[in-house]
Amino acid sequence: MLTKLTTLALAASVLAAPATEVVPRASNAKVCDDASKLCYAEYVASNSVSYRIAIPDTATTAAPYDIALSIVAPKAIGWAGIAWGGAMANNPLTLGWSNAATAVVSSRHSTGHTMPVAYDGASYTVLPSSKTNATHWQLDVICTGCSTWSGKTLDPGAAASLAFASAATAPADPSNNASKFGIHNAKGKWSQDLSAAKLTGFATLVAAAEKGSA
Ligand code: HEM
């Protein structure tokens, strides 16, 4: 009986999978970073790029709130990013890529399926825990402006529809956050339970992580 139910559940989840190049797999486990000491809800795409999110446990829809985002990618990934509204167009896009021993954040926005331009509706603090090592690059940022756009605020108590995209080719000028870059070769959408991303003591932990004293 158990086997039958499991088979049915598996079949249903396969049928419900979105038609994208990358079949996403999600995990609800909290992942804590040794360097920043921040703990995130994690989503891992099948090309092994992790998108980790933490929000204040005090967040409400009444006011914008900061979001801690960590993107951890194998070095073969040229750039990777999140679309906070779950689609490419008309919402804040947060991109990251490797640069020397660290990583760069680029704030973008697009009104369609064309090269996203710079977006000043969001601002970022890059944490010193960002790095590039022999196998991976990791971008850790605090975003102000990713939880709100066009008059709507992501509900911190509910599931958010998010999207990711990544490319094998790195941006033309990795040291420049306004660099041009090419189209993704992987993309997908997932539903992220934001209540699972709530972090107690967010402001204090973030302040320590920003100083590198975590
Ligand atoms: C040079 C930059 C980019 C170009 C030329 C581009 C182009 C396109 C095109 C033509 C599509 C529709 C066809 C397809 O499904 O492949 C698409 C879909 C999509 N793109 Fe991009 N893209 C770029 C950057 C980005 C970035 C930076 C993100 C997110 C961080 C992103 C997220 C998505 C997503 C989630 C979709 C799925 C459909 C949708 O949500 O609209 N793209 N893109």
Domains along the chain with CATH numbers = 26-168+181-211 (2.60.40.1210)
- Does residue 174 have its Cβ closer than 6 Å to ligand 1? no
- Does residue 187 have its Cβ closer than 6 Å to ligand 1? yes
Residue with tokens 């000491």: 37
Query: What angle (nearest 5°) sits at the alpha carbon of residue 24, between those of residues 8 and 189?
Result: 105
Q: Are strands 136-144 and 148-149 parallel, antiparallel or unpaired?
A: unpaired
Q: Is the pLDDT of residue 155 over 70?
A: yes
Distance CA 51, CA 42 (A): 6
Closest residue by Cα to residue 205 from 54, 64, 65, 92:
54
Radius of gyration of the chain measured on its C-alpha atoms: 17
**Which residues face 193 on adjacent strands?**
159
Q: How confident is the model at residue 136 (pLDDT cuts 50, 70, 90)?
A: very high
Atom of ligand 1 nearest to the CA of 95: 30
pLDDT at position 30: 86
Of the listed ranges 13-27, 79-93, 161-175, 189-203, the one predicted with least confidence: 13-27
Burial of 155-176, coded b for 16+ CB within 10 Å and e otherwise, reads ebeeebebbbbbbeebbeebee
Q: Is the pLDDT of residue 18 over 50?
A: no
Q: How confident is the model at residue 28 (pLDDT cuts 50, 70, 90)?
A: low
Determine which helix (DSSP H) or strand (DSSP E) holds 203, and give its type and residue range.
helix 202-211
pLDDT at position 29: 63
Distance CA 92, CA 85 (A): 7
- Does residue 93 have its Cβ closer than 6 Å to ligand 1? yes
Q: Report pLDDT digits (tens) over 186-196.
A: 999 999 999 99
- Does residue 87 have its Cβ closer than 6 Å to ligand 1? yes
Q: Report pLDDT digits (tens) over 167-184.
A: 999 999 999 999 999 999
Residues of the chain above pLDDT 70, percent: 86
- Does residue 165 have its Cβ closer than 6 Å to ligand 1? yes
Among 88, 90, 164, 166, residue to substitute to test ligand 1 (most atoms within 8 Å of Cβ)? 88
Q: How confident is the model at residue 213 (pLDDT cuts 50, 70, 90)?
A: confident
DSSP 3-state of 68? strand
Contact 186, 45 (CB under 8 A): yes
**Which residues face 54 on adjacent strands?**
68
| Distance, C-alpha 37 to centroid of its chain | 18
Q: DSSP assignment, residue 197?
A: G
Cβ-proximal residues to 152 (8 Å cutoff; 6+ apart), any chain: none
Average pLDDT, the chain: 90
61 burial (CB, 10 Å; 0-12 / 13-18 / 19+) is middle
Residues of the chain above pLDDT 90, percent: 85
Distance CA 37, CA 3 (A): 40
Going from the Cα of 129 to the center of ligand 1, the distance in angstroms, rounded, reads 28
